[in-house]
Amino acid sequence: MQTTKTKTEPNKVDQRIKLLDITMKRNHYRQDALIEILHKAQSAFGYLEPDILEYIARGLKLPLSRVYGVATFYHLFSLKPSGVHSCVVCMGTACYVKGSDRILTALEKELSIHVGETTSDNQISLMSARCLGACGIAPAIVFDGTVIGKQDPETAIEKVKAIEKSKVIRSKEWI
Amino acid sequence: MDLEELLEIGQQERDRQQQKKTRIRCCTAAGCLSSGAETVKNNLEIAVIEAGLEDSVEVCGVGCLRFCGRGTLVEIDPNGILYEEVLPDQASGIISALSEGDKNREELPRQSDRNHPFFALQMPLVLENSGKINPERIEEYIAVGGYQRLHHVLMEMTSAEVIEEISKSGLRGRGGGGYPTGLKWATVAKMRSPPTPLNKGGVGQKYVICNADEGDPGAFMDRSVLESDPHRILEGMAIAGYAIGANYGYIYVRAEYPLAIKRLEKAIQQAKKYELLGSQIFDSPFDFKIDIRVGAGAFVCGEETALIGSIEGKRGNPRPRPPYPAESGLWGCPTLINNVETFANIVPIIREGSDWYSSIGTETSKGTKVFALTGKVSNTGLIEVPMGTTVRQIVAEMGGGVPDGGKVKAVQTGGPSGGCIPAEFFDTPVDYESLLKLGTMMGSGGAIVMDEETNMVEIARFYMEFCRGESCGKCVPCRAGTVQLYALLSKLLNRQANQSDLEQLEALSYMVKETSLCGLGQSAPNPVLSTLKYFQQEYLDLI
């Protein structure tokens, strides 16, 4: 890539950048592969920092505005770093009818953050999802990529406390 | 690959399965997996080895067994016992019950009653293989007759005949709108694509798109079909491609369904390996390739023009129609977009004939419909019923009503675009027209049951919050209207509203409905209007 020597080169030229290069190459630098490449970038870096967006824009020969526009349009792309652990409460209708709003409120209170935020120690990100399609086991919560069904505020808080205690740092994955 | 080879693969697989006397099928769809199905399956395998039954018992992972609220589900062939809520440590009990009968009943998980209306009233057509075959092995799909219809269509039918057959069947789009599928196919087939430098002014490219962006909260039918029987979709898409003259297909799946994506990828790989997708399928001149596109969490991408934008790698902004995608869709080429369930209906129609298919259902709505029955109902899960089944049969008989003896208040269908059916209209047959008359819609098939405790104004606000967040922001009525509607509903719920607010709520709802650009905005006020119509008292009580 000719662009790797520019001023905006991400300072960590590591495996992850290589992975991004490979993904772009595999997609023949096609502009319509932008969403796939952003997915890959997000799973490698955890979030999409401006440098990365610019890097992708150069690679695909797209205006940065277009890359930025796409990255901000879709809910699954995050431009902010997320916590070590993730906790996603499903707010689909089936879960809502069965009380997922109470779970979310309880968790917000327990972690003293609002939905979409990360705790100050950068440990847990609390998010909500539209529908996970796990309606049969509503209300459902995703802890670090594992879907757990039939939750209530008490069991959810227990799980979060367990996460807070554990020191295991797992890779970040969105479900 | 030719027909003989295909039949032989199927025969070999059937022989392989018959070698073992018993086949234990463990549900490995997403619902059961989150209740620990993987461990249950592993433990069953270990227990079989420990009992020394490897030669007569096979444990396999299959797709959805439908009773999703009672996972993990395990079904045993040939005696048809269905165990529910199986825990990993009950595996050895199940295996020993195979030889000793159920004398240690207390160690066994509960058995489902297969004569219960939940199962008895079902008519599996789209879900015929779901829970029976291992979705990760193409051989099992071939063993139940898979890809034979594709061969039949390619060798013995012209594309016009295929379209004629689909038209005569009366199949309508299962994504919610209910547009006649045959008509859509015929329209795309007639279109000439613009000449490009590559095709030198000849017949240009057309595309087939499978819309698997199942965004309606509370609906999971498409996910189950994709996870349980992915090859059926591939075969349906290939038949569609042949009929309209396309040789490229895309499946647009939402990123929230990682398992469906994984199984689709595997299915495409296997089909390519057996040359059932790719160039010159069955040595005919027909080529067909399928690619997966993964969404990134935008509800509006279920709208067809937004979905096309998203496949092109852009923001999912809808555009005004016409031109419809049938004329100018993906990269300006004629494009056929159908929902997962629509494609899943193609194989049975070709196999059994359009006359047979059109004998099922009502005057205007033919065939079956899959519903995801959820909410405050005893039996949650996936059901497939003939069109014309009444709401009461679905909710009271199949669903078993509200757990703990509560009373059903309403059923919400069609997600954020639909409305609710109050209990007094439960004798309405389920078909496209009847539901529209009630002010709701078929939608993709989510049926969420609400009991007396549910506050309908809160539900209306819940959906409005959803639409407010999902509005793409392109047109003003939807972008600003949903925000204002949400504010009015909040004002009501905070008991700060007066009569004029209520009037404004209704007027604004109609305004947003009539002036929005795409389906999202046009249908966003539906939950409000529907609850206003049937549960007006609840609104008045808040003033």
Q: Residue A66: what pLDDT?
A: 94
A115 reaches B (C-beta below 8 A): no
B398: DSSP letter: I
Q: Residue A171: what pLDDT?
A: 42
B31 and A134: CB-CB below 8 Å? yes
Which of B259, B314, B472, B474 to mutate to test binding with chain A, by most A CBs within 10 Å of its CB?
A: B314
Q: Which residue has the higher pLDDT, A71 or A122?
A: A71
Reduced to 3 states, what is the DSSP secondary structure of residue B130?
Answer: coil
Q: Residue A3: what pLDDT?
A: 43
Backbone torsion region of residue B439, taken as left when φ is above 0, otherwise alpha when ψ lies between -120 and 50, otherwise beta: left
- 3-state secondary structure string across B457-504: HHHHHHHHHHHHHHCCCCCHHHHHHHHHHHHHHHHHHCCCCCHHHHHH
For chain B, give percent helix, strand, coil, nearest 5: 50, 15, 35
A32 and B312: CB-CB below 8 Å? yes
Q: Residue A169: what pLDDT?
A: 46
List alpha helices for chain A, DSSP H.
Answer: 15-26, 34-45, 50-60, 64-73, 93-97, 100-111, 153-165
Of B374, B454, B459, the CB nearest to A135: B374
B257 interaction partners in chain A (CB closer than 8 Å): 133
A29 interaction partners in chain B (CB closer than 8 Å): none
Give the CATH class of A85-165. Answer: alpha beta
CATH number of A2-73: 1.10.10
Q: How far is CA A121 from the centre of its chain?
A: 18
* Annotated domain spans of chain B: 19-113, 145-158+172-349, 368-446, 456-541
B255 and A76: CB-CB below 8 Å? yes
B297 and A130: CB-CB below 8 Å? yes
B381 interaction partners in chain A (CB closer than 8 Å): 136
Which of B300, B310, B448 to mutate to test binding with chain A, by most A CBs within 10 Å of its CB?
A: B448
* Mean pLDDT, rounded, of chain B: 91
Q: Let me know if domain B19-113 sits in CATH 3.40.30.10.
A: yes
Q: Residue B277: what pLDDT?
A: 93
Other beta carbons less than 10 A from residue B330's beta carbon: 23
Which residue has tokens 């003259």?
B245
B219 and A91: CB-CB below 8 Å? no
| Strand partners of residue A89 | A128, A141
Residue B229 near residue B130, CB atoms below 8 Å: yes
Q: Tell me the HSE value of A17 on the side-chain side, using a 13 A CA sphere.
A: 16
A8 reaches B (C-beta below 8 A): no
CATH number of B145-158+172-349: 3.40.50.11540
A35 and B256: CB-CB below 8 Å? no
A92 and B30: CB-CB below 8 Å? no
Backbone torsion region of residue A144, taken as left when φ is above 0, otherwise alpha when ψ lies between -120 and 50, otherwise beta: left
Residue B104 near residue B82, CB atoms below 8 Å: no
Chain B closest-CA separation from residue A29 CA (Å): 12
**pLDDT (tens digit per residue) in A4-63:** 444 444 555 678 888 899 999 999 999 999 999 999 999 888 889 999 999 999 999 999
A45 reaches B (C-beta below 8 A): no
Instruction: Return the axis-axis angle of helices B340-352 and B221-228, rounded to nearest 10°.
Output: 60
Q: Residue A5: what pLDDT?
A: 43
A137 and B68: CB-CB below 8 Å? yes
* Annotated domain spans of chain A: 2-73, 85-165
A70 interaction partners in chain B (CB closer than 8 Å): 313-315
Tens-level pLDDT at each residue, chain B (543 residues): 889 999 999 999 999 999 988 999 999 988 888 888 999 999 999 999 998 888 899 999 999 998 988 878 999 988 888 999 999 988 888 888 888 776 667 778 888 888 899 999 999 999 999 999 999 999 999 999 999 999 999 999 999 999 999 999 999 998 878 899 999 999 999 988 766 655 444 467 899 999 999 888 888 899 999 999 999 999 999 999 999 999 899 999 999 899 999 999 999 999 999 999 999 999 999 999 999 999 998 899 989 999 999 999 999 999 998 889 998 889 889 999 999 999 999 999 999 999 999 999 999 999 999 999 998 999 999 999 999 999 999 999 999 989 888 899 999 998 888 899 999 999 999 999 999 898 888 888 889 999 998 899 999 999 999 999 999 999 999 999 999 999 999 999 999 999 999 999 999 999 999 999 998 999 999 999 999 999 999 999 998
The reported pTM is 0.91
Q: Residue B102: what pLDDT?
A: 66
Among A90, A139, A83, residue whose Cα is nearest residue A113:
A83
A70 and B314: CB-CB below 8 Å? yes
Of A66, A76, A138, the CB nearest to B296: A76
A131 and B298: CB-CB below 8 Å? no
CATH number of B456-541: 1.20.1440.230
CATH number of B368-446: 3.10.20.600
